[in-house]
Amino acid sequence: MTESLAAFQTSIGRAFLGLGPCAIDPNSPGFQFTATVRRSWCRGRSIMAAREVLTLLPAAERSQLLDEYVDRGGGLATFSSVESGTFLAFLGPRLPDPSHALSLCQMDQALARAREAASNFVPPTERANRERIERGHDAALVWFYTDAIALVGALQGGPRPPVGAPDHAVLIGPGMPKWFRLARAEEATLWTNLPTSDADPVLVRRLLAEGVLRYVD
């Protein structure tokens, strides 16, 4: 009896995902009502997983991406952090490039990696010779196309600012107190030129301590 019930429930679950035949009439009012509630629940969980990124998208584009994600089985993860990571990975390649939404998506993904790595991060021991340095495994530099005030205004319901020049960069690393900060011009230039052995030792020392840089093995 238990196995039959489990098989019945599995059939219903797979039918909701479009993965197989249904044990009951899929056109019945009960099935259709359950499917509607389930889809609404999945959409709601998905919105919570990437609310700020979705806020920066036009309504039609936001709805289309949500539908596609849910149709692919999204919105079912038990833990919000898992759902967020999965949804952001889904959104990244589908967002306009450049766009404010893509920049925020990339920053959210990088922050998740940096937070996860922070508990085990140990700054590398400084080396006497000028050795080659490269980007840290859990570091990122993300360009934004407007200033922070305009972006925060858009996230709070204000108008979306136009996409301007990439003049605002954010560094992310596991060794930073909050895992991110604004990047200085010389830091953004160094990041672009990596890997290299030609850099200001003081600058390198700071970025190594923050996990932004690492020595080339």
pLDDT given for residue 17 in this prediction: 57
Does pLDDT of 201 surpass 70?
yes
What does the radius of gyration of the chain's CA atoms come to, in whole angstroms?
23
pLDDT band for 34, please (50, 70, 90 cuts): low
Return the domain boundaries, the chain: 1-94, 120-217
pLDDT band for 127, please (50, 70, 90 cuts): confident
pTM of the full predicted structure? Answer: 0.83
Alpha-helical segments (H) within the chain: 2-16, 29-49, 51-55, 59-71, 80-91, 100-118, 148-155, 185-193, 201-209
Query: What number is the average pLDDT over the span 176-189?
Result: 96
Query: What number is the average pLDDT over the span 171-192?
Result: 96
Query: What number is the average pLDDT over the span 80-91?
Result: 94
Instruction: Answer yes or no: are the C-beta atoms of 171 and 183 closer than 8 Å.
Output: yes
CATH architecture of 120-217: Alpha-Beta Complex (3.90)
Query: What number is the average pLDDT over the span 186-212?
Result: 95
Instruction: Answer yes or no: are the C-beta atoms of 214 and 136 closer than 8 Å.
Output: yes
Does pLDDT of 11 surpass 80?
no
Q: Report how far residue 147's alpha carbon sits from residue 80's, in angstroms, rounded to the nearest whole number.
A: 29
| Mean pLDDT, the chain, integer | 87
What is the number of other CB atoms lying within 10 angstroms of the CB of residue 21? Answer: 8
